[in-house]
Structure 1
Amino acid sequence: MTNEHIYAHFHPDESRFVDKAVEWVERAEQHTVKLTDFLDPRQAHILATIINRSQDVQVRLEGGHPQAERRRALIAPDYRVLDEEDMGISLINVTSLDDKLKDLDHGDYMGAILALGIKRDKIGDIYPREDGCHFLVANEVADYMRLHLNQVHRVHVQTEQLPLSGLEATETKLEELHLTVASLRLDGIASDAYRLSRAKVLVPIKAGRCKVNWKQEEDPSKPLKEGDVVSLQGFGRFKVLEIEGLTKKGRYRLKIGKYA
């Protein structure tokens, strides 16, 4: 398996992950089992693409919930039964006596976790609720998290570890916005979604700080379609929910959802 041939199918900035995935698959072909950190959907796609090139390797993806966005992968020889394997995922429950807890969102919890020095790869999905939060982490950082996470955005919190069966997966909250744009270009829709000028939104896109469906996108003219998820570093992300049609002046009416 030559990596140079595989690189052609992916963005140049994904080459490092491609190399890792190829190594995991090659080791599985030599009867070694690999449990990865949490992968985003793009990384999971790359891994699956590479595994599909091998007849002797299989993968199990698990994120603690059937609709999990971020999942750990267990890569193993095809003769191994993976259904009962431990995927190394722990559930952390966050509570507080402070009624300000209901005002915290996904970004607040993420910021507090990363401030502890824990790498993003060790964190799965985060499910904020009005009375607290459930989030998933790799087993190897669960005890550290439980002992040291005591404040989220100036709100004092308590944490405990629960069995995975106790997970309460909340639906992702989206702030719906209706836009009218001249075209379906990435830069035009992102400009309106983030309330930035076209010139200001071009800078991070061309600098490689924009992703469409978790894949780096540097072409401002890329057309978006229904279901696309766009993230711009430092500004959050949004999803194109519906292309509602054209106005009398030929502009596109869109409904997007901004992630809370």
Structure 2
Amino acid sequence: MKNEIYGHFHPDERQFVDKAWEWVTSAGEYHETKLTEFLDPRQGFILQTLVNRHPDVSVRWEGGSAEAERKRALVAPDYRDLDAEDMELKVLAISSGEQKFLALEHGDYMGAILGLGIKRGKIGDIHVLEDGCHVVVAADIADYLAMNLTGVHRINVSTEILSLSGLRSSDVKLETIDLTVASLRLDGIAADVTRLSRSKILAPIKAGRVRVNWKVEEDPSCGLKEGDMVSIQGFGRFKVLEIGSLTKKGRYRVQVGKFV
């Protein structure tokens, strides 16, 4: 069974597949429940795929909002009513009286939180608002963050812990970039977005530091399509918004949105 499961996933994902299958079998065979850390969409897809393979297991997902990207999962025997279960989520509201505070971005908040020694799996979506920031966090680290997060990017901040009902979610901000490219290959489009040469973009791709739709992609010639999400470690991420008509010289018109 394990080898059959492995065949569907990238070798780098095997460690997570093992862990997720253990959660599923523990729920189905030993009636145990497991509340996971925050999972990214790819991990969520893997876990849901494994849950679907077991007739006696169900899963509940919660990330704070309907459009949440990162979510916690509660894996349990299928006879359990999961709607009433506590998913142990809190909202960390961050504010400041300094004017420069309003210029802070997603990466600034992420860096400040991880800089306190917090693991990524304890943090859900980060919502940058016009007057502050709301971060969905695991309940067991909320107090620690509220006491210790006193600055973000050298700006003094104050914090407050809210229940999940107090979450204000933000719209994703994208900087649109219009490109004309010879092909829809990953390396070509990624090179244009990051302003790296084609040869330099090959290094992170071949090192496994590039993900397409949250899955490691090591093939530079991988073709991208509308809706694909590409993340490059150290360079942020972008989404392919539209693939338009060909130019007179046979190049593709492509519009991407770079996350800011």
What is the TM-score of this pair, normalised by structure 2?
A: 0.99
Write the distance in 2 (CA, Å) between the matches of 1:101 and 1:166. Answer: 21
For 1:135, the equivalent position in structure 2 comes to 135
Q: Counterpart amino acid of 1:166?
A: G
For 1:58, the equivalent position in structure 2 comes to 58
For residues 94-105 of structure 1, the aligned pairs below 5 Å read 94-105=94-105
Q: Is this contact kept in 2: 1:102–1:132, CA < 8 A?
A: yes
- What whole-Å deviation, never above 9, does each CA across 1:173-223 have from its counterpart, x for those lacking one? 000000000000000000001110000000000000000000000000000
Report whether the alignment pairs 1:13 with 2:31.
no
Question: How big is the shift at 1:129?
Answer: 1.6
Report whether the alignment pairs 1:123 with 2:110.
no
For residues 62-101 of structure 1, the aligned pairs below 5 Å read 62-101=62-101
Question: How big is the shift at 1:240?
Answer: 0.1
Question: How big is the shift at 1:135?
Answer: 0.5
Q: What is the aligned residue count?
A: 259
SS at match of 1:92: strand
For 1:146, the equivalent position in structure 2 comes to 146
Q: Is this contact kept in 2: 1:96–1:158, CA < 8 A?
A: yes
Write the distance in 2 (CA, Å) between the matches of 1:122 and 1:171. Answer: 22
Write the distance in 2 (CA, Å) between the matches of 1:245 and 1:107. Answer: 34
Write the distance in 1 (CA, Å) between the matches of 2:16 and 2:2. Answer: 11
Write the distance in 2 (CA, Å) between the matches of 1:26 and 1:5. Answer: 16
For 1:41, the equivalent position in structure 2 comes to 41
Task: Find runs of 4+ consecutive structure 1 residues off by over 6 angstroms.
Answer: none
The percent identity for this pair of structures is 63
For 1:235, the equivalent position in structure 2 comes to 235
Write the distance in 1 (CA, Å) between the matches of 2:58 and 2:253. Answer: 43
Question: How big is the shift at 1:67?
Answer: 0.5
Question: How big is the shift at 1:3?
Answer: 1.6
Write the distance in 2 (CA, Å) between the matches of 1:26 and 1:175. Answer: 43
Q: Is this contact kept in 2: 1:64–1:136, CA < 8 A?
A: yes
Write the distance in 1 (CA, Å) between the matches of 2:163 and 2:80. Answer: 26
Question: How big is the shift at 1:130?
Answer: 2.6
Write the distance in 2 (CA, Å) between the matches of 1:184 and 1:176. Answer: 17
Q: Is this contact kept in 2: 1:211–1:230, CA < 8 A?
A: yes
Q: Is this contact kept in 2: 1:191–1:201, CA < 8 A?
A: yes
For 2:32, the equivalent position in structure 1 comes to 32
For 1:219, the equivalent position in structure 2 comes to 219
Question: How big is the shift at 1:100?
Answer: 0.6
Question: How big is the shift at 1:28?
Answer: 0.2
RMSD over equivalenced CA pairs, Å? 0.6
Q: Is this contact kept in 2: 1:181–1:251, CA < 8 A?
A: yes
SS at match of 2:19: helix
Q: Is this contact kept in 2: 1:205–1:217, CA < 8 A?
A: yes
Write the distance in 2 (CA, Å) between the matches of 1:42 and 1:36. Answer: 14
Q: Which blocks of at least 5 consecutive residues in structure 2 are unaligned?
A: none
Write the distance in 2 (CA, Å) between the matches of 1:51 and 1:162. Answer: 32
For 1:108, the equivalent position in structure 2 comes to 108
SS at match of 2:82: coil
Q: Counterpart amino acid of 1:60?
A: R
SS at match of 2:257: strand
Q: Which blocks of at least 5 consecutive residues in structure 1 are unaligned?
A: none
For 2:163, the equivalent position in structure 1 comes to 163
What is the TM-score of this pair, normalised by structure 1?
A: 0.99
For 1:187, the equivalent position in structure 2 comes to 187
For 1:202, the equivalent position in structure 2 comes to 202
Q: Counterpart amino acid of 1:54?
A: H
Write the distance in 2 (CA, Å) between the matches of 1:166 and 1:255. Answer: 35
Q: Is this contact kept in 2: 1:101–1:130, CA < 8 A?
A: no
Question: How big is the shift at 1:148?
Answer: 0.4
Write the distance in 2 (CA, Å) between the matches of 1:163 and 1:208. Answer: 38
Question: How big is the shift at 1:84?
Answer: 1.3
